[in-house]
Amino acid sequence: MAHIVILGAGVGGLPCAYEMKEALGKNHDITLINERDHFQFTPSNPWVAVGWRTQDNISVPLASILEKKKIQFIQDRVDKINTKDNSLELKSGQAIRYDYLVISTGPKLAFEEVPGSGPQGYTASICTTEHAVNAYKKFNEFIKNPGPVVIGAMPFASCFGPAYEFAFIMETVLRKKRIRNKVPMTFVTSEPYIGHLGLDGVGDSKGMLESDLRNHNINFITNAKTTKVEDGMMYVDELNDEGELKKQHELPFSYSMMLPSFKGVDAVASVEGLCNPRGFVIIDKYQRNPTFTNIYSAGVCVAIPPVSTTPVPTGAPKTGYMIESMATAIVENIKSELEGKQPHARATWNAICLADMGDTGAAFVALPQIPPRNVTWFKKGKWVHQAKIGFEKYFIRKMRKGYTDSIYEKFILGTLGIKKLE
Ligand SMILES: Cc1cc2nc3c(=O)[nH]c(=O)nc-3n(C[C@H](O)[C@H](O)[C@H](O)COP(=O)(O)OP(=O)(O)OC[C@H]3O[C@@H](n4cnc5c(N)ncnc54)[C@H](O)[C@@H]3O)c2cc1C
């Protein structure tokens, strides 16, 4: 009997645990370790930050559901991974041994790379639901005394969609409150152009998103290297395409939300031979670390190369569809190994996403993720906003019940009318 430990109960780890149990049944032990006692549906965080959702709406308590599924749950933080004796050291002092480890720890949010940024500083964040709850508190203060807003993404960010979503969602809320006229808005991004999205664009994302920003009176600065933030003031170096300084900006703000640089979490990044220099887990085509072959990884914590080199560093996004397929491949491969066979399953590295824009939305498909592509389109419409609400309900319901089948594959592909990707 093998012990499979899944580290992290996010969009990657929780479905992976359910699917692993389904695949391996009673024959093997499965343990899920997560520092929080609940799962958070991260894609809904922008809605929490404007009060359209509460934390409870988008959270799933883990203990009772996992007990029913006969998956052991430990609410604790893993502080050290000992690859020599295949064990984990937890914050509580407990030690856990594993035969196979699946790392799905998401990102470390590296606010420290830009002094003054982040919830401990002067900018809000929507990266965790707790951050989004705090962002909403700040937002409520802000609307009593509105002024300039700066929203965007800092150097080494690898997830740009939520920054655009939040800008358009906030713009919608301000319009509905009839105070938009008091709020100059600026979108500040490390992307080389609007709509790059860490993917070197998808279809006409550049033209469409630029046009949307203009239509919504949102100014923008690209190739933006945010260097520091002070109370009410953001300092930004705008670079040219050669990476040289083009202009320095001092942007006053009454409210700001900036996505930070993503890195690997400390417990993972500190394991010698496991990660790239930014702390992301190196994996082969079967999601398995080449040095420690009993360690697999899925989600934002895996190392994938940037789609293109940009004057201000940016990373490639890892979106839900791709993450789900990574988890499914891991389950297949660990099952194969336990049956004495070789791992063979591979994830689908395509970017497919529904992005909300307040009262409308944008859907994109980039297949494969790195251009030139076989399929590339970017479409807008109110139907995307509705589809995203439907998807949120569907995903959270599945998590509460103990998901066992492909959520993204069924819902997103179904919504977009795509039968099969490859
Ligand atoms: C605001 C936002 C919106 C997004 N919206 C979308 C979207 O609409 N569509 C889309 O496809 N993608 C979206 N993404 C991208 C991606 O789908 C999400 O980031 C997703 O949550 C990533 O899943 P994950 O499992 O890799 O990491 P996470 O969901 O971050 O989960 C990681 C888990 O590991 C736990 N953990 C970390 N370290 C430890 C430790 N040492 N010990 C114990 N537990 C630990 C964390 O507490 C967390 O529960 C969004 C990302 C963000 C930030």
Same domain, 127 and 251: yes
**CB of 300 shorter than 6 A to ligand 1:** yes
Q: Per-residue confidence at 350, pLDDT binned at 50, 70, 90?
A: confident
245 and 317 inside one domain: no
Quick check: is 401 in a domain?
Answer: no
Residue ending a domain, choose from 261, 281, 300: 261
Q: Ligand 1 centre from 404 Cα, in Å?
A: 19
Measured in whole angstroms, the distance separating CA 50 from the mean position of its chain's CA atoms is: 19
The finding on whether 77 has its CB within 6 A of some atom of ligand 1 is yes
**118 and 103 co-located in one domain:** no
Distance CA 28, CA 105 (A): 22
Q: Read off the pLDDT of residues 209-258 as tens digits, 9 standing for 90 and up.
A: 999 999 999 999 999 999 999 999 999 999 999 999 999 999 999 999 99
Ligand 1 atom closest to the CA of 46, numbered from 1: 1
Per the CB < 8 A criterion, the answer to whether 179 and 283 are in contact is: no
Is residue 419 in some structural domain?
no
16 is catalytic: no
Q: Which of 7, 11, 257, 350, when mutated, tests ligand 1's pocket best, judged by the most ligand atoms within 8 Å of its CB?
A: 11
Domain count, the chain: 2
Across the range 18-31, mean pLDDT stands at: 96
Picking from 310, 348, 305, the residue whose alpha carbon sits closest to that of residue 196 is 310
Same domain for 129 and 231, yes or no, is: yes
Which pLDDT belongs to residue 372? 86
Kindly give the number of the ligand 1 atom that is closest to the alpha carbon of 77: 42
Sign of the CA dihedral running 158, 159, 164, 166:
negative
Mean pLDDT is lowest, of 212-226, 307-321, 367-381, for 367-381
Question: Is residue 285 in a domain?
Answer: yes
- φ/ψ region of 336 (left if φ > 0, alpha if ψ in -120 to 50, else beta) reads alpha
Instruction: For a ligand 1 pocket test, name from 133, 300, 330 the mutation site with the most ligand atoms within 8 angstroms of its C-beta.
Output: 300
Q: DSSP E strands: which ranges in 286-421? A: 295-297, 351-356, 361-367, 375-380
In a domain, residue 387? The reply is no
Measured between its terminal Cα atoms, the distance across the chain in Å is: 35
Question: Ligand 1 mean position to 127 CA, how many Å?
Answer: 8
Q: What is the pLDDT of residue 369?
A: 81
In short, whether 36's Cβ falls inside 6 Å of ligand 1 is yes
Share of the chain above pLDDT 70, in %: 99
- Predicted pLDDT of residue 420: 66
Q: Using CB atoms within 10 A of its CB, is residue 142 exposed (0-12), middle (13-18) or buried (19+)?
A: buried
Catalytic option among 16, 159, 275, 301: 159
Tell me which residue range forms the domain holding 289. Answer: 3-108+263-347
Q: Would the CB of 319 count as within 6 Å of ligand 1?
A: yes
Nearest-10 crossing angle of helices 320-338, 407-416: 140
**Does one domain contain both 272 and 328?**
yes
Is the domain of 196 the same as that of 233?
yes
Q: What pLDDT digit, counting tens, does each position of 109-148 carry?
A: 999 999 999 999 999 999 999 999 999 999 999 999 999 9
Residue type, 309: T
- Whether residues 171 and 231 share a domain: the answer is yes
Tokens of 5: 């430990």
Evaluate whether 188 touches 222 at the Cβ level (below 8 Å): no
**Distance in Å, CA 317 to ligand 1 centroid:** 12
The reported pLDDT for the residue numbered 416 is: 76
Taking the CB of residue 267, how many other CB atoms lie within 10 A of it? 21
Q: Is the CB of 38 under 6 A from ligand 1?
A: no
Of 307, 323, 347, at which residue does a domain stop? 347
Can you read off the two tokens belonging to residue 59?
A: 């959270």
Neighbours of 285 (CB within 10 A): 12
CB count in 10 Å sphere of residue 102: 28
pLDDT tens-digit map of 86-100: 999 999 999 999 999
Rounded distance between C-alpha atoms, residue 282 and residue 303, angstroms: 5
Report which ligand 1 atom has the smallest distance to the Cα of 388.
Answer: 8
CB atoms within 10 A of CB 313: 16
| pLDDT, mean over the chain | 95
Ligand 1 within 6 A of CB of 325: no
Query: Is position 321 within any domain?
Result: yes
Specify the pLDDT at position 65.
97
Q: What's the gap in Å between 137 CA and the centre of ligand 1?
A: 22
CATH number of the domain that residue 56 is part of = 3.50.50.100
Average pLDDT over residues 398-418: 82
Atom of ligand 1 nearest to the CA of 298: 26
Provide the CATH number for the domain around residue 236: 3.50.50.60
Assess whether 127 carries a catalytic annotation: no
Q: From the candidates 127, 275, 301, 353, give the one annotated as an active-site residue.
A: 353
Q: In whole angstroms, give the CA distance from residue 305 to residue 315.
A: 7
Examine the pLDDT at 370 and tell me if it is beyond 90: no
The CA angle 276-159-42, to the nearest 5 degrees, is 105
Res 418 pLDDT > 80: no
Question: Phi and psi at residue 330, in whole multiples of 5°?
Answer: -60, -45
Give pLDDT, residue 422.
59
**Cα separations (Å) of 248 from 8, 256, 357?**
40, 18, 29
Tell whether 226 is covered by a domain. Answer: yes
Domain-located, residue 191: yes
Residues 152 and 126 in one domain: yes
Query: Nearest 5 degrees, angle CA 228-CA 355-CA 184?
Result: 45
| Mean pLDDT to the nearest integer, 249-270 | 98
Ligand 1 pocket test target in 33, 42, 131 with most atoms within 8 Å of CB: 42
| 45 and 155 belong to one structural domain | no
- Percent of the chain residues topping a pLDDT of 90: 88
267 and 245 share one domain: no
Whose Cα sits closest to atom 5 in ligand 1?
43
Q: Could you tell me if 232 and 253 are in contact, meaning their C-beta atoms sit under 8 angstroms apart?
A: yes
Which atom of ligand 1 is nearest the CA belonging to 259? 53
Question: Pick the residue with more confidence: 307 or 285?
Answer: 285
The whole-number pLDDT of residue 260 equals: 98
Q: Tell me how far apart the alpha carbons of residues 177 and 71 are, in angstroms, rounded to a whole number.
A: 46
Q: Name which residue sits closest to atom 53 of ligand 1, judged by CA.
A: 127
Contact between 98 and 296 (Cβ < 8 Å): no
249: nearest Cα among 290, 309, 321, 189: 189
Q: Is the CB of 192 under 6 A from ligand 1?
A: no
Same domain membership, residue 186 and residue 322: no
Cβ 59 under 6 angstroms from ligand 1? no
Last residue of a domain, one of 245, 261, 277: 261
Count of CA atoms in the C-beta half-sphere (13 A) of 112: 3
Atom from ligand 1 closest to the CA of residue 408: 11
Nearest residue to 264 (alpha-carbon basis) of 109, 114, 88, 126 = 109
Q: How far is the centre of ligand 1, averaged over its atoms, from the C-alpha of 20 (Å)?
A: 19
pLDDT in tens, 163-222: 999 999 999 999 999 999 999 999 999 999 999 999 999 989 999 999 999 999 999 999
C-alpha to C-alpha distance for 332 and 288, rounded to whole angstroms: 12
Which atom of ligand 1 is closest in space to residue 8's alpha carbon? 34
Q: Is there a single domain that holds both residue 123 and residue 194? A: yes
Confidence of residue 307 (pLDDT cuts 50, 70, 90): confident
Report how far residue 378's alpha carbon sits from residue 359's, in angstroms, rounded to the nearest whole number: 17
Residue 243 lies in a domain: yes
